[in-house]
Amino acid sequence: MAQQIADRRDIDFVLHEQFEVEKLSAHDKFAEFNRKTIDLVIGEARQLAIKEILPTQSIGDTQGVQLEKGAVTTPPEFKQAYARYVEGEWLAMTEDPEWGGQGMPLTVSLAASDYFNGANFALMMYPGLTHGAGKLVETFGTAQQKAMFLKKMYSGEWAGTMLLTEPEAGSDVGALTTTAVKNADGTYSISGNKIFISGGDHDLVENIIHPVLARIEGAPEGTKGISLFLVPKIWVNEDGSLGEPNDVVCTGIEEKMGIHANATCSMALGSKGNCRGLLLGEENKGMRAMFLMMNAARLLVGLQGFCCASASYINALNYARQRVQGKSLLQMFDKTAPAVPIIQHPDVRRMLLQMKVYVEGMRSLLYYAGYCEDQKGLATDEADKAKWQGIIDVLIPICKGYITDRSFEVCSTGMQVYGGYGYIKEYPQEQLLRDCRITLIYEGTNGIQAMDLLGRKLGLNKGRAIMDLFGEIQKTIAAAKAVEATAALAENAEAVTNKLGEVAMHMGSTAMSDKVLNAFAHAHPFLEVCGDVAMAWQLLWRAVTAAGKLEKAKKKDVAFYEGQLKSAEYFINAILPVTLGKMNAILNNNGAAVEIAEEAFGAK
């Protein structure tokens, strides 16, 4: 059975029918991206993903990466797939053509990345990290730094990473101990150790540019004293030519549960006293630079988790259609009745429908975050830009935290549909489950995402950001009320959305009271209910769109559009009532989690 990665019909529906992205081409910035061009882009991405990248997925999982004599090697098959990817100029799809980008709408690039990450996200982490590091150079670099690094990074000739985490600091970045001492020539001598560095070393490129967080001697303690530096694996001369190897080496690679083909490295900087770096941006402003880049990184992680879920769902669906086992429940007492495909069994259909609604809703929500970024980029009014940025800021912890939580559940269900076969390596389901698990952890654990939503995003712009998001949700609800097929669903969705407003007010006031610990003990459940409402919104939007298409739909599209209505019906009527229960639990504000004595947890 051929492994699948993404549903082209659904991608086209989101792009062209739900969001009508071709309308972006009415603006000069995206003038060349009409529907024909967009379809060509997605088609080329799909072909590359299936033909070149997907075959490397199981190979990478089986072979992993190797560290020998200080050098990290990837599976040989990765080099051709990576070469084809960079030849197609896919690394910098959304960036300025001046620096080698394609100037593509983010919404469209997410659809292309849907295929790439679904094919092998462990491999796609290498160019993904490079893009993030390049964006730092583009945003904060001097003209000379851009000339030295940017085109070679955006072209994929050189790679990039992010050296942030340290053994004792973990997620508490302010506790880092890596130091920087200014030299007479304006460079800095860097000394320290970093861990869990994705893509920290590999053989896909000739040079790797490491953005490194470090503290300059005498700088303030905590995050206020952190600066950002560019530390090349091989020193880059001012004319762009390569010099001597820098004193930055991989000292070990982690043996992980999943993403075996991405090198997760321990890195030593300056162990011989010869590590040099260039200041990127201003002194003591390194964390500010990182936070500006965090939205894109967390959106990518949400996409990674989602792509595992999307592939798992398609695999499970195809397997259920072909796997024959057991009689139909309607013929249980007929001894002559034949066995049927398991998709005819009600519990299997329930599992598949639950996977379907989450995959569809998550795809729409991720693409919508990209759509907001495109709208912000086209806005000429500062208030309009602020509105779109605020919505993005509120959505990011949901896109990263909620989506990866649900994606892992979808992958687990995908394994369940296969039964015992899902648990063995003959089929891809177990790898997708293992690979997906990291997305709940890195770029800020999902507990951190929940705290970010409660502690920073709920009151952002004096609450205006979340109110703007509620305003967009209400627009969809109003449109759905006007359509007979979705009116009842809209009423139910509106009731739960209004309840969320009550819960948000409660959480905000509790977080500002002497019960602040109680509030943060409920931060993750709050993230979950916000995500559920966001899913209901997107699925209702999809249903309204589909209802408008049904009357004139071609025969081949009828089942798809009807399926959109059923997805919204199932989520709003079967899942949102559970969401209401979670909301009531949050409003109850039980303090057991923070009141229980440490000793009561038991074993020491």
Q: Looking at residues 66-87, what average pLDDT do you find?
A: 95
Q: Which long-range contacts (CB under 8 A, 24 or more apart) does 555-562 make?
A: 560/9, 560/13
Catalytic one of 22, 360, 443, 494: 443
Q: Is the pLDDT of residue 171 over 60?
A: no
The answer to whether the 8-65+75-154 and 159-284 domains have the same CATH topology is no
Query: How many angstroms separate the CA atoms of 158 and 50, rounded?
Result: 25
State the average pLDDT over residues 470-490. Answer: 98
Confidence of residue 491 (pLDDT cuts 50, 70, 90): very high
Which of 361, 300, 391, 397 lies closest to 533 in space, CA to CA? 361
Candidates 3.30.465.10, 2.40.110.20, 2.60.40.10, 1.20.58.110; CATH matching 159-284: 2.40.110.20
Phi and psi angles of residue 209, each rounded to the nearest 5 degrees, phi first: -100, 120
Q: What is the model's pLDDT at position 4?
A: 72
| Mean pLDDT score across all residues of the chain | 95
Q: How far is it, in rounded angstroms, from Cα 519 to Cα 591?
A: 9
Tell me the C-alpha distance between 4 and 1, whole Å.
9
Amino acid at 259: I
DSSP state of 14: I
Distance CA 227, CA 272 (A): 22
CB-based contact 519:510 (threshold 8 Å): yes
Q: 495 by DSSP, 3-state: which?
A: helix
Q: Is 95 helix (H, G, I), strand (E, B) or coil?
A: coil
The tokens describing 189, both together, are: 């001598």
Could you tell me the residue ranges of all domains in the chain? 8-65+75-154, 159-284, 445-597
Cα–Cα distance for residue pair 111/109, rounded to 1 Å? 5
pLDDT band with cut points at 50, 70 and 90 for residue 312: very high
- Torsion sign over Cα 384, 387, 393, 396: negative
Instruction: Quick: pLDDT tens for 435-467.
Output: 999 999 999 999 999 999 999 999 999 999 999
Where are the alpha helices (H) located in 522-600, listed in sequence order? 523-550, 555-570, 576-588, 592-595
- Residue-wise pLDDT for 344-378, tens only, equals 999 999 999 999 999 999 999 999 999 999 999 99
pTM of the model: 0.96
Binned at pLDDT 50, 70 and 90, residue 211 comes out as very high
Half-sphere exposure at residue 122, Cβ-oriented, CA atoms within 13 angstroms: 32
pLDDT value for 167:
83
- Assigned superfamily of 8-65+75-154: Acyl-CoA dehydrogenase/oxidase, N-terminal domain (1.10.540.10)
Q: Is 426 one of the catalytic residues?
A: no
